[in-house]
Amino acid sequence: MDVLKAQDPARIGAHTLLARLGAGGMGQVYLGRSPGGRLVAIKVIRDEIVDHPEALTRFRREVETVRAVRSAYTANLIDASLDTAPYWLATEYVPGPTLGGAIRERGPLPSDSARSLFAALAEALATVHGYGVTHRDLKPQNVILSPQGPLLIDFGIARGAADTALTQTGFAPGTPGYTAPEVLISNQVGSATDMFALGAMLAYVVTGRPPFGSGPTHAVSYRVVHEDIDVGGVEPDLAELIQDCVAKDPARRPGPAEVITRCAVTSVLAEDPFYVRLTSDIEAVPQDLPAARAAGLVPPGHGAPTPPEDAPTVGPGYVPTALPGYVPTFVPPAPTAVPGRRRSRRTPWVVALAVAVVVGTGTAVTLKMLEDNGTGGTGGGSSSSESPTASAVPHKVPEYILNDRVSLDRWTLSTEPAEAVHGIGKCAQVGAVSAPKELQYAVDDLDDPDSATVVRRARITFRFKYAEIEDKKPAPYYVSVGVKPPHEIDADTGKPYEVMMESKNVGYTSKPVDIYEHWKEGGFVELTYPDDFQGHFSASKGEAAIPVVNDPGDWTAVIYHVKSSPTDYESIGCTGFRVGSS
């Protein structure tokens, strides 16, 4: 819980603000007090994304989902405003740590306690699925441990059975390590997607370790698709249940009813001594404005006096969320089939994050990256900075980035003639992270910008949108671009091997450059392939980049944020271009 800042309002709708609870991908979350004296968690969508239709659609979907799903395992909707900015929703405030925070502080649960928690979460999912809703971002940070039992929060990317996918360009929904293989590969989402996340969470609860290890997002995602979950040291029957829940084929995963049966719970979770220990350190919460001021959460003189607002406009009266002494046994009737659930038992060979249309040759693309932190409180998250700071800048910028890893990022030209004629394609990107601002980039033929293909030289341009409106030049943010041909290249010939193999490395890279190089005039950084690129496959001198004509086909260009060393970099964007006929 944090102090309100000068820019924070004194009220949201009819609710008086008492503190900050944190920040998530969609906006700021506050602790508030309703006119009737009830504590609420208020999520306010960020000002800078209110003009993005996809963000507003996602937020409206969250409101509708929270309104529709009324359960002992969810925080109920109290109020919302969806007509004009600021857009916000208020849910009942439930004190308690997140599952992730509790395990991090207290360590893993013993098997019997884990089974009780697992059964409760399975019933929570059964209830949500009974409303025809898939959560899609189930993870330890999105589970609140109240004294009476767990609650699911943050339905920001949830969707109903009849809804279409809603994701950011180039991204799969969810969190690495808890996102199912079918989502990573083709964005196929169904109730089995949540069961995968449930199994991954149980592995974390009983081991205290990330279910598929740690490291870069692309590495974790690769393990999700190709490797086994970490259940080292777990009791055999519990390990088997976890492994069944995270089966690569969604059709082989058990449903909530089977999970509850196999957990065979006979005791009350809220009375389990280990669960009680996890929920014992609940932070003291101010009940009104004087108490918040006394606690230093509301600075003196904060907020101009405002007249009382209308009473809450949506959300019925209080519905108790706690069921003391309850043992999970109930599973509601299964909803109608959710489109997209895979029935194939074939394990995929290649991992690729959700494919989304991005723009290739001759056209620019704007990519707004929204990061969902979701830690702490009902709907809360960890506070985050909106722009790079000086402390994030490496003391010495590396001269190059080393081609030291597998890269499965892949751009392909669209199969739709109306798109292909303009060089539009799709980028399947693995392991991208959020950029601090809106990233704009484009690729075209340097000699013929109107061409849908590249003949000799590709021009790659990029910038952060609206950087020029800053009062002063932002701290440097170094970027390198990796351009890779369709196939692995024989270093002796500069052409593909006789037996062609798909390129799975970073490719030829540019010297890191500050993306704010042309900050004041709002200009783009411009690079030319092959002139500005080399292949750094070892720490020795770089190799010359091959001509594009050596390997006709779909080339991929990945934008990397470069940090403190040649091996310290991560992808923030992806595009590409076609060499040869379209």
DSSP symbols for 533-553: EEE-SSSSPPEEPPPGGGS-E
Assign 340 to helix, strand or coil.
coil
> Exposed, middle or buried, 531 (CB in 10 Å: 0-12/13-18/19+)?
exposed
Nearest to 140 by CA among 217, 184, 204, 225: 204
Which structure tokens are listed for 442? Answer: 């484009």
Beta strand residue intervals within 225-384, DSSP E? 356-358, 363-367
User: What amino acid occupies position 200?
Assistant: A
Q: Is 288 a catalytic residue?
A: no
* Residue tagged active-site, from 137, 409, 532, 554: 137
Count the Cβ atoms, other than its own, within 10 Å of residue 385: 10
Are the beta carbons of 133 and 194 closer than 8 angstroms? no
Determine the Cα–Cα distance for residues 573 and 420; give it in Å rounded to an integer.
20
Report DSSP state, residue 19: E
Are the beta carbons of 482 and 508 closer than 8 angstroms? yes
Are the beta carbons of 199 and 189 closer than 8 angstroms? no
For strand 458-464 and strand 439-445, is the pairing parallel, antiparallel, or unpaired?
antiparallel
Assign 361 to helix, strand or coil.
strand
Determine the Cα–Cα distance for residues 499 and 191; give it in Å rounded to an integer.
41
Angle at 213 between CA 207 and CA 217, to 5 degrees: 140
Are the beta carbons of 177 and 212 closer than 8 angstroms? yes
Determine the Cα–Cα distance for residues 156 and 159; give it in Å rounded to an integer.
9
Assign 526 to helix, strand or coil.
strand
Sheet of 11-12: strand order equals 11-12, 15-23, 27-33, 39-45, 88-92, 77-81
Determine the Cα–Cα distance for residues 263 and 327; give it in Å rounded to an integer.
11
* Active-site annotation, residues: 137
